[in-house]
Amino acid sequence: MTFDAMLLPKAELHLHIEGTLEPELAFALAARNGVQLPFASVEELRAAYSFTDLQSFLDLYYACMEVLRTREDFRDLAAAYLRRAAAEGVRHAELFFDAQAHTARGVAFADVMGGLQDALDDAALLGLSGGLILSFLRDQPIEDAEAVWAEAKGHLDAIIGVGLDSAEVGNPAGKFEGIFAEARALGLHAVAHAGEEGGPEYVWDALRSLGAERIDHGIRSLEDPELVRHLVDQRVPLTVCPFSNVRLRAVDTLADHPLPAMLRAGLHVTVNSDDPAYFGGYAGENIEAVAEQFALGREELALLARNSVTASFASEERKAELA
């Protein structure tokens, strides 16, 4: 029997919960909430999953979020994801959520958080641990981030960290320095998307301005040998998302993906799914695809799985269980 890379026990560390909204659920929620999606059918929506860059994806991603309105919607969304993840060997999942994209539409922050937390609580009964990472939208005014952050401070026990996502190029991290410093002082973890479409300078910026402990994507770090040295020396994990990089044209094909070069460089790489409903696969499919594409053996797959656990923000006790 061949080794089943798909089922490798692992942690998922780069997952936007809104990016798990499958077309079928989007239409079900649209009907439940009386919201009109700008597509006539599941097939038509799926046919729109053809992206030229990050922004072309973000436009559709934010449009589909319109169907998410109630605490129950967020619970159903996260419950569907966690069920699927568990079936693929994910044993710990850290979920990004884009609170600003919901509060800007009049959805209460407490309903977003509450629904996601309900699903995580249910998943815990099935042995899946996890947490929520409040992600700020780097292309939106800092005042919007500050308003959400002020609300989040009333729910600190339900958040494990802060993150930064959305359109990278032209939106440096610096303006979020104050929020991240405060979040870190309050004991939250700090992560940031960087080096996805932007160059290595965006990774340096995330490390220096935000104190990011993990870099989400970071694939362009390889362009700067000094940065690679720093990331290796400091053991800064990079949460790499192969399908996302192909679909958003950060790389031409999976064969061109820098994952093998990143592993050879000694970087602390993990494999993740980003927005699996849109990019063609969840954590298991991403691992399986790179295993096949790059003929990864047992040892390399075990390293990727181990990296995902050590790079996680699970407690030391939980990490020992997952090891």
Q: Is 197 in the site for Zn ion (CB under 5 A)?
A: no
Site mask for ligand HPA (CB under 6 A), range 28-57, x = bound: --------------------------x---
Catalytic residues: 196
- Structure tokens that stand for 137 in this block: 């939208």
102 binds ligand HPA (CB under 6 A): no
Binding of ligand HPA by 94 (CB under 6 A): no
What gap in Å lies between CA 300 and CA 222, rounded to an integer? 20
Per the document, the length of the chain is 323
Binding mask 147-166 for ligand HPA (x = CB under 6 A): ------------------xx
CB of 223: closest distance to ligand HPA in angstroms?
18
Q: How far is the CB of 271 from Zn ion (least distance, A)?
A: 13
The nearer residue to Zn ion, 69 or 100, going by C-beta atoms, is 100
| 19 in contact with ligand HPA (CB under 6 A) | yes
- For Zn ion, the nearest residue by Cβ is 274
19 binds, among ligand HPA, Zn ion, none (CB under 5 to 8 A by kind): ligand HPA
Residue pair 6/289 in contact (Cβ under 8 Å)? The answer is no
Q: Is 244 in the site for ligand HPA (CB under 6 A)?
A: yes
Q: Which residue number, 117 or 244, has a Cβ lying nearer to ligand HPA?
A: 244
* Sites for Zn ion among residues 267-286 (CB under 5 A): 274
Q: What is the SS3 assignment for the chain?
A: CCCCHHHCCEEEEEEEHHHHCCHHHHHHHHHHHCCCCCCCCHHHHHHCCCCCCHHHHHHHHHHHHHHCCCHHHHHHHHHHHHHHHHHCCEEEEEEEECHHHHHCCCCCHHHHHHHHHHHHHHHHHCCCEEEEEEEEECCCCHHHHHHHHHHHHHHHHHCCEEEEECCCCCCCHHHHHHHHHHHHHCCCEEEEEECCCCCHHHHHHHHHHHCCCEEEECHHHHHCHHHHHHHHHCCCEEEECHHHHHHCCCCCCHHHCCHHHHHHCCCEEEECCECHHHHCCCHHHHHHHHHHHCCCCHHHHHHHHHHHHHCCCCCHHHHHHHC
Question: Of 171, 180, 229, which Cα lies nearest the Cα of 198?
Answer: 171
Please, which of residues 257-296 interact with ligand HPA by CB under 6 A?
274-275
Q: Is 73 annotated as a binding residue?
A: no
Rounded to whole angstroms, the Cα distance separating 58 from 40 reads 20
Identify what 196 binds: Zn ion, ligand HPA, none; CB under 5 to 8 Å per kind: ligand HPA
The residue (of 98 and 274) whose beta carbon lies closer to Zn ion is: 274
# of chain residues touching Zn ion (CB under 5 A): 1
User: Which lies closer to ligand HPA via its Cβ, residue 161 or residue 301?
Assistant: 161
Whichever of 16 and 71 has its CB closer to ligand HPA, that residue is 16
Q: Is 217 within any annotated ligand binding site?
A: no
Size of the site for ligand HPA (CB under 6 A): 11
Q: Are 164 and 135 in contact (CB under 8 A)?
A: yes
If contact means CB under 5 to 8 A according to the sort of partner, which of Zn ion, ligand HPA, none does residue 166 touch? ligand HPA
Residues near ligand HPA (CB under 6 A) are 16, 19, 54, 61, 165-166, 193, 196, 244, 274-275
Residues near Zn ion (CB under 5 A) are 274
Residues annotated within the binding site for substrate are 275
Residues annotated within the binding site for Zn(2+) are 14, 16, 193, 274
